[in-house]
Structure 1
Amino acid sequence: MNELLTEVLEAHGGLRRWQELAQVRATIVSGGDLFAIKGLPQDPVPREMTVRLHEEHASVRPFGAADQKTDFTPGRVRIEKLDGRVVAERKNPRSSFAGHVLETPWDPLDRAYFNGYALWTYLTTPFLLAMPGFTTTEIRPWQEGGELWRGLRAAFPPHIASHSPYQDFYFGPDGLLRRHDYHVDVAGGFAAAQYVYEPMVADGIVLPTKRRAYRRDTEFCPLRDQVMVSIDIIEADFG
């Protein structure tokens, strides 16, 4: 583990505390133009997101109906009734995005897959970078206003579903996450810069409560005229 990652993990609550925990349950409100582009505009209703911390598994409720939820793993995604009855299922869900461009419509299982891997990534950052199979390298820092943000480039292992195989994470002088860059491979591979704000402490873990993702230009600058994805965390409980 490199020096920067060690500092970052400590700033977010420490790896020892993280290893004592098994899951996080967060109340979220999400939105942004990406979902309208995909033909599935997002309403502002709060939803409950449950994420396991040490394996890639996530669920959100309600989804599509008040009595439905999702169940996501990298190799399979489901929409289920709350009693566990399966409404729809897709195995090897990543393959369904072959040939997609930004404007390609999504069906509900596509959306459930995207939601599952994206929120799992966000709610386990930066601790997922210490999981087996991840490698990180310090990269050129990013200057934002009066701050210099140190960067880590992470190579994701093949068994982890996420936006893209390589992603960049930038941290402020306090060691906390400020920005997360990636390509959205399931939506034509557009380059994104996600800014995070207003950290909170929940059960000893520090996480941002606001995320805003923008398209990114060739100079790595965000195109702030359009919010592609927004996520607000109202509350979070680790256990």
Structure 2
Amino acid sequence: MSTLLDNILDAHGGLDRWRQLSSVRATVVSGGDLFALKGLPQDPTPREMTVRLHEERASVAPFGAPDQRTDFTADRVAIERTDGTVVAERPFPRTSFDGHALDTPWDPLDRAYFNGYAMWTYLTTPFLFAMPGFRAEEIAPWQEDGEEWRGLRVTFPATIASHSPQQDFYFGPDLLLRRHDYHVDIAGGFAAAQYVYDITDADGIRLPTRRRAYRRDKDLRPIRSELMVSIDYSDIRFS
């Protein structure tokens, strides 16, 4: 593991502390143009997100009805009632996105899959880089807001569902996350630049409470008029 990655993990609370924890819950409010493009506009209702830290598993509630939630893993996504009754499920959900463009409609299971892998990625960054199968290498820094942000290009293992196999993460002089770049492969592969704000300390782990993902142009600049996804977290608690 590189010295840069070691220092980034320390800045976010440290790997020792991370390994003492097993899950995180947070209240989430999300929005943005992507969901309307997919025919599933997001309402501003607060929801509770639950994420496992050391395996890729996530759930959000309510989902579609007050007594429903999602159950996401990389090879299965389901909508179920709070008593565990399965309402709908899809094994190997990634294959259902074959041939999708940016404006291809999603069904609720597609939305549940996107929500599951995206929220898992965000709430475990940067500690997921230390999981088996991940590779991180330093790339050219990014200049913005009068700062130089050091970059890591992270290659995800095939067993982990996420936006794209390679993603770039940029960290400020304090080595805290500032920006996250990727392609959304399940939505036509559009390029995104996601900015993060308002770092908080939750149970010894430091993470952003606001995320804003914009379409990205060929010069790696965000297109501020195209806010694809917005996420606000509150009441974050680890266990």
TM-score by length of 2: 1.00
Residue 10 (structure 1) aligns with: 10
**2:56 maps to what in 1?**
56
Structure-to-structure mapping, 1:1-239, within 5 angstroms: 1-239=1-239
Write the distance in 1 (CA, Å) between the matches of 2:142 and 2:10: 21
Structure 2 Cα separation of the partners of residues 48 and 54 of structure 1:
19
Distance, in Å, in 2 between the alignment partners of 1:36 and 1:234 is: 24
CA distance in structure 2 between the partners assigned to 1:235 and 1:117 by the alignment: 21
| Residue 175 (structure 1) shift | 0.7
How far does residue 3 in structure 1 lie from its aligned partner after superposition?
Answer: 1.3
User: Aligned partners of 2:232, 2:226: CA distance in 1, in Å?
Assistant: 17
Q: How many Å separate the matches in 1 of 2:2 and 2:46?
A: 38
CA distance, structure 2, for counterparts of residue 199 and residue 233 of structure 1: 11
Letter in 1 for 2:9: L
Q: Residue 226 of structure 1: CA displacement? A: 1.6
Distance 2:216 2:42 in 1: 22
Letter of the 1:119 counterpart? M
CA distance in 1 between counterparts of 2:2 and 2:163 reads 23
TM-score (norm 1): 1.00
Question: Structure 2: any 5+ residue segments left out of the alignment?
Answer: none
CA distance in 2, matches of 1:235, 1:196: 17
- Over aligned residues, Cα RMSD in angstroms? 0.4
Secondary structure of residue in 2 paired with 1:129? helix
Structure 1 SS opposite 2:123: helix
Q: 1:145 Cα deviation (Å)? A: 1.6
SS at match of 2:96: helix
The Cα shift of 1:77 comes to 0.2
Moved over 6 A (4+): none
CA distance in 2, matches of 1:234, 1:127: 20
3-state SS of paired residue (2:121):
helix
Aligned-partner residue type, residue 137 of structure 1: E
Q: In the aligned structure 2, how far is the partner of 1:42 from the partner of 1:15?
A: 34
- SS of the residue corresponding to residue 45 of structure 1 reads coil
